[in-house]
Amino acid sequence: MYLLWLRVAVFLYAGASFAAFPAVLNSSPRWRSICVHLGGLALLLHSVSVVEMLALAHRWVPYGVREAESMLGLLVAGLFFLVWWLYGAVSLGIFALPITFFIVFIPALGTEKYVFPSEGVRISWLVAHIVALLAAYAALGFSILASALYLVQERRIKAKPIPGGKSDWFEWLPPLDTLERVAHSTLLFGFPCMTVGLVIGSVLAQETVLGPAYFRDPKVIASFIMWAVYVLLLFVRSTAGLRGRRAAYLSGAVFLVMLAVWAANTLSQVHRYGAP
């Protein structure tokens, strides 16, 4: 029965994570309320699940990887709500709630390794995993390109272009405001794609021979770091009012992280493109 409570809690954590972004990035009171209520209910059911799990096992400490993951997720969520209760800081929710979801998602699949009903279903999930992550990287790359063009256009405007000069080569560039909106909107599009890709990848990992050890793979670790950087970039751009040149420089730093993720692919023994 504890798995049922845990699975419902995971579903609620997902809803709370989704609500956390408009609650924090757009300062929406409505989404803030949804985030807190869904997350609070998830924490309650998660607590019931952990207590029942330990009671059935007749022990007070978790045993095994999945029990430890469930307990860790409970502590992360509990710490977030303690901070929210003391200081009213919902901003940490865009980090704490999705992290809790990722931690608890695997234990919620069950005590045994998840098995797809057929090879066709597994391949469909694999295709969705690859497409979602490629879409995320493409969106991030497009955002970085728009930020780079922003710097070029800004410099061109400040240089007061002379007719017939070299700066006329960039007359085709759109206005600064358009480039800024393109950079931000593509970033917003890519984030859910990356999140979905990582969630599907977590499910696919359960059928590998390595099991939980799969998540120690350099490529997998780097992908989750990339997701965290994605969240940080969205958070900083919104809460700090980061726009223009500084946002473009920050996007450049994210580009370096993205290159590191791709470089990690060459070090991977189980997650390399073209590997069996």
Q: 101 and 153 share a domain? A: no
Return the percentage of the chain with pLDDT > 70, whole number. 74
| Whole-number Å distance between alpha carbons of 148 and 122 | 39
Same-domain check for residues 149 and 243: yes
Say what the pLDDT of residue 276 is. Answer: 42
State the pLDDT confidence band at 133, using cuts at 50, 70 and 90: confident
Distance separating alpha carbons of residues 100 and 80, to the nearest angstrom: 10
Report the pLDDT value the prediction gives residue 37, as an integer from 0 to 100: 95
275 domain-assigned: no
- Among the ranges given (20-34, 61-75, 252-266), the one the predictor scored with the smallest mean pLDDT: 252-266
Q: Global pTM?
A: 0.71
Position 275 confidence tier, pLDDT thresholds 50, 70, 90:
very low
Do residues 126 and 253 share a domain? yes
Task: Report residue 166's pLDDT band, with 50, 70 and 90 as the boundaries.
Answer: low
Q: Are residues 128 and 65 in the same domain?
A: no
In a domain, 114, yes or no: no
pLDDT tops 90 at residue 248: no
Domain boundary among 87, 108, 129: 108
pLDDT at 8 over 90: yes
Q: Which of 56, 88, 108 is the last residue of a domain?
A: 108
Is 149 in the same domain as 244? yes
Q: Considering 68, 88, 108, which residue would you say is the last residue of a domain?
A: 108
Those residues with Cβ within 8 angstroms of residue 221's Cβ, 6 or more apart along the chain or in another chain: 215, 264
Question: Per mean pLDDT, which range of 46-60, 128-142, 185-199, 240-254 is the poorest?
Answer: 240-254
Which residue did the predictor score with more confidence, 146 or 205? 146
How buried is 72 (Cβ within 10 angstroms: 0-12 exposed, 13-18 middle, 19+ buried)? Answer: middle
Same domain, 129 and 243: yes
249 and 126 in a common domain: yes
pLDDT of 228 reads 80
Residue 23 lies in a domain: yes
Residue 35 maps to a domain:
yes
Query: Do 155 and 237 share a domain, yes or no?
Result: yes
pLDDT digits (tens, 9 = 90+) for 81-105: 999 999 888 888 888 898 899 888 8
> Do 125 and 227 have their domain in common?
yes
Residues 230 and 171 in one domain: yes
pLDDT interval class at 57 (50, 70, 90): confident
CA distance 177 to 154: 11
| Mean pLDDT, range 217-244, rounded to an integer | 71
CA 123/CA 199 separation, integer angstroms: 15
In a domain, 273, yes or no: no
pLDDT-based confidence at residue 273 (cuts at 50, 70, 90): very low
How far from 130 is each of 72, 107, 193, 271, CA to CA, in Å?
29, 23, 10, 12
Residue 89 and residue 125 in one domain? no
> Alpha-carbon torsion 223, 104, 275, 190, what sign?
negative
For residue 83, is it within any domain? yes
Helix axes 218-239, 119-158, angle to 10 degrees: 40
Its domain, for residue 8, covers 2-108
Q: Model confidence at 265, in pLDDT bands (50, 70, 90)?
A: low
- The structural domain count of the chain equals 2
Tell me the average pLDDT across 205-213: 57
57 and 21 together in one domain: yes
Q: How confident is the model at residue 165 (pLDDT cuts 50, 70, 90)?
A: low
Q: Is the pLDDT of residue 78 over 80?
A: yes
Q: Is the pLDDT of residue 210 over 80?
A: no
Domain assignment present for residue 185? The answer is yes
> Has residue 136 been placed in a domain?
yes
- pLDDT of 274 strictly over 90: no
